[in-house]
Amino acid sequence: MLSELKTQFNVLKALAIHNLQGQMKSYNYGFAWVILEPLVFIAGFRLMRKFLGGMASPSGMTPLLFYVLGVMPLYLCFEGIRAYSIAASPSKMLSFPRITPVDMALGAAISSFAVYFVLFWLVAVPVSIYENVWPPENILSIMFALISAWLLGISFGLIISGAYRVFPPTKQFVSYISFALRIGGGMFFSITMIPIAWWPLFSWNPVFQVTEIIRDAWYESYVSPIADPIFVVECILGMLLLGLSIERFMRRVPYA
């Protein structure tokens, strides 16, 4: 049992390294785009707050780190979601006996997590020092939020991988979902910035819960009224079980 787990771990490690070596190969500037895209969002939200004045961060939360803590978990989630196309696409590497579509998806997701996890700390630490909010109140909760955002993305990606396998235009619907997460995932607002009557509706969104958890964990002065780590874990387990079941069943279906 332990030897099999060790072998599978080595498979995932090799796939992750392979994906890191070819990370973002479709872009001319390689890793530069990985870094620039979330930073452009952070800078854009900060400038909108400065010039419009209507997007001020809640009391007790500094303006620039507020957006860093909102944007970076969302990108971890997006990278997890992108694993759906890998899990549902044919690959020559699947001819190896120890490699499955889930291994391929996890390998790609792990490499992306490594990039954005490091990028998060490279951005958050200097920004928090500049704004005098270093160190964070609860670093373990921050780690939980980052990993949870990534796992939520993977779980959802596995769920939609079945539809993508038989209906490739599903990719278009995924872009709509990503857009909805950008709007409602807490990138540029927190729960205290919206009317109380809407709180129950937003509390059902596990991605928004993650952004609330990470801001609650960083700022000592902010206590989220809806942050619920148990709910996030329940969503991850339920979606992951469903996603793995769908992926396993769809292996019997030929590629479209």
Q: Which of 117, 98, 92 is nearest to 20 (CA)?
A: 117
With beta carbons less than 8 A apart as the criterion, state whether 45 and 187 touch.
yes
200 lies in some domain: yes
pLDDT of residue 102: 79
pTM metric for this prediction: 0.86
pLDDT of residue 141: 96
Residue type, 180: A
What gap in Å lies between CA 89 and CA 207, rounded to an integer?
26
pLDDT of residue 2: 67
pLDDT of residue 147: 96
What gap in Å lies between CA 161 and CA 155, rounded to an integer?
10
Give the mean pLDDT per block of 10 residues along the chain (256 residues): 70 71 55 66 66 59 87 90 78 70 83 88 91 92 96 92 82 85 86 90 94 94 92 96 87 66
pLDDT of residue 228: 94
pLDDT of residue 186: 86
98 lies in some domain: yes
38 lies in some domain: yes
The domain containing residue 211 runs over which residues? 2-250
pLDDT of residue 53: 55
Query: Each residue of 199-224: b (16+ CB within 10 Å) or e?
Result: eeebbebbbbbbbbbbbbbbbeebeb
pLDDT of residue 64: 84
255 lies in some domain: no
pLDDT of residue 120: 92
- As given in the structure block, the two tokens for residue 152 are 């939520």
pLDDT of residue 74: 92
190 lies in some domain: yes
With beta carbons less than 8 A apart as the criterion, state whether 72 and 38 touch.
yes
Q: Which of 16, 84, 71 is nearest to 40 (CA)?
A: 71
124 lies in some domain: yes
What gap in Å lies between CA 236 and CA 184, rounded to an integer?
18
Contacts made by residues 35-44, CB under 8 angstroms, sequence distance 24+: 35/119, 37/75, 38/71, 38/72, 38/75, 38/116, 38/119, 38/123, 39/123, 41/67, 41/71, 41/187, 42/67, 42/68, 42/71, 42/123
The total of structural domains in the chain comes to 1
107 lies in some domain: yes
pLDDT of residue 7: 72
256 lies in some domain: no
Query: Each residue of 6-18: b (16+ CB within 10 Å) or e?
Result: eeeeebbeebbee
